[in-house]
Amino acid sequence: MIEVSTDWYLTLAAVLFSIGFIGMMIRKNALIMFMCIELMLNSVNLTFITASKHFGTIEGQISVFFVLVVAAAEVVVGLAIIVSIFKKQSSASVDLLRTSRG
Amino acid sequence: MLEIFLFAVPAGLVILGALIVIFAKNPVHNSMGLVLTLSSLAIIYITLNATFVAMVQMLVYAGAVMTLFLFVIMMIGVDKPEQSKEEIKGQTLLVSGTLLILIGIISYVIISSGFKWDLYFSPVEYSLEGTPDLIASTLFTEWILPFEIISILLIVATTAAIALAYDTKTRKHK
């Protein structure tokens, strides 16, 4: 009888983080890159909750709330930046973005 | 058997949704893939005894954040197809190098520990249920200072979003 242990969840989190990182590297649309950041943040959340279950403490789940709020704030600011970029150059591709150079 | 089923099916859906996010061409499809990933993760959270976090995940991520994403996609329209031309010199080389390093580190950690990551810390016997009661009683006593700082962060983020999206030109024409 195979039992679902902590390793399985951690492996899933590692795979999810890698997929998010690969997407961050290969896509050029700023919106898609934001979704990949969400994937990576969610894999970290999964790790926190797995640790919370493994060690029998509630602190892991509390940390998830803080990650969640920071993610929401980051999405709000990031999407506002994307909209204002789109107004300027009518494309959300990050490669065409040369104006933020110092 | 039910335990394995409850892990494997949501885990497969998580991976499937993540692959849709990074490979789909239409941004609406990408965001739907993200919804699939987030909802399946909520199921996994329930199997990990984190019921309140699972509910918040559905409300905040799959509800609010994804609605925001869809709003922006509808606002700026579906973009032109991405060109695969290299804009920055040596981009492809750098990206593949970084990817290889990341995959190498992860495989090294997995293989060197022999797929047994909880070898040194054995799991506890009892199971802890993440009810709203327990979470609130910890969050509002021990973690009250980070909680207040987070509220300042949210106010700053909201103000920044308004300042960025506010169009001063159209305002002057009125």
**For chain B, which domains are there?**
2-79+130-173 (1.20.120.1200)
Dmax over CA atoms of chain B, in Å, equals 68
Q: Please tell me whether the interface predicted TM-score (ipTM) of this complex is above 0.95.
A: no
Residue A67: predicted pLDDT: 92
Residues 107-136 of B with CB under 8 A from A: 110, 115-118, 121, 123-124, 126-128, 130, 134-135
Q: What is the distance between the alpha carbons of residues B57 and A51, in angstroms, rounded to a whole number?
A: 18
CB atoms under 10 Å from CB of B46, counted, come to 16
Please indicate whether, in this complex, the C-beta atoms of A42 and B38 are within 8 angstroms of each other. Answer: yes
Select from B115, B118, B164 the Cβ nearest to the Cβ of A84.
B164
Which position has the token pair 């973690």?
B143
Q: What is the distance between the alpha carbons of residues B36 and A56, in angstroms, rounded to a whole number?
A: 29
Q: What is the distance between the alpha carbons of residues B82 and B62, in angstroms, rounded to a whole number?
A: 27
3-state secondary structure (DSSP) of residue B111: helix
Q: Which of B3, B14, B35 to mutate to test the interface with A (most CBs of A within 10 A)?
A: B14
Q: What is the distance between the alpha carbons of residues A65 and A78, in angstroms, rounded to a whole number?
A: 20
Distance in Å, alpha carbon of B174 to nearest chain A alpha carbon: 20
Which position has the token pair 């969640």?
A68
Select from B65, B99, B116 the Cβ nearest to the Cβ of A72.
B65
Q: Give domain limits for chain A.
A: 6-89
Mean pLDDT across B147-163: 91
**pLDDT by residue (tens digit) across B136-147?**
999 999 999 999
Cα A45 to Cα A63, A71, B136, B159, distances in angstroms? 8, 11, 18, 27
- The encoded tokens of residue B157 equal 């983020």
- The encoded tokens of residue B121 equal 């810390």
Please indicate whether, in this complex, the C-beta atoms of A49 and B38 are within 8 angstroms of each other. Answer: no
Helices B144-165, A59-89: crossing angle, 10 deg rounding = 10
**pLDDT by residue (tens digit) across A27-77?**
878 888 889 999 999 999 999 999 898 888 888 899 999 999 999 899 889
Indicate whether B119 pLDDT > 60. no
Instruction: For domain A6-89, give the fold.
Output: Helix Hairpins (1.10.287)
Residue B78: predicted pLDDT: 63
Instruction: Report the predicted TM-score, pTM, of the whole model to 2 decimal places.
Output: 0.86
Which position has the token pair 């959340």?
A45
Select from A12, A73, A75 the Cβ nearest to the Cβ of B153.
A73
